[in-house]
Structure 1
Amino acid sequence: IPALGARRALQLSMEMTRGQVGRLFVLDLSFLGWVLLSLMCLCLPWIGLHLLAPYYRMTWAEAYKSLRDQAAAQGIVRMEELGYLRLA
């Protein structure tokens, strides 16, 4: 379990996303077409959004993983600080 305080978590978030905000914004915009297509389904629009949600969440999980790995490689954060265990 990570033992990060709120201040450290916000600090890490700011450091990890520095210089990446534009790319993350474009990543979010890339789902706009899918959302509009899902909403245009007249029969049951929430089904389309329900099917899109896992894809959207996993995309953001991968984006976080990429940012986390970059931060660890740059020495901004240690993986142990985030709750990962180092195996011998």
Structure 2
Amino acid sequence: MRKEMPIDSAPMDGSKITVVWTDDDDQRNESIAQYRALDRLRASGGQWDENDAGWWTFIDSRTQRRIEPTAWIVETDDGDDEND
């Protein structure tokens, strides 16, 4: 079963998770995203500042975008498995 959790409880260790966010057209989206801290961004090279830290997702096959998720999705095993 899927459960939405507040984004402030999401892991920020660089792991990829499913997040919920709203785009510029007020469309609700679910995407795989990753929190990228400033120190990790700087370690990858390039010029980064504190405005670049945050949640990043691919919006198409080649384009990444920093987003502001409102929640993240947790898969839970609630014991209601039909195969038991």
Instruction: Settle same-fold status: TM greater than 0.5.
Output: no
Tell me the TM-score normalized by structure 1. 0.23
* Structure ranking higher in helix proportion: 1
TM-score (norm 2): 0.24
| Structure with the higher strand share, 1 or 2 | 2
Mark the structure with the bigger radius of gyration.
Answer: 1
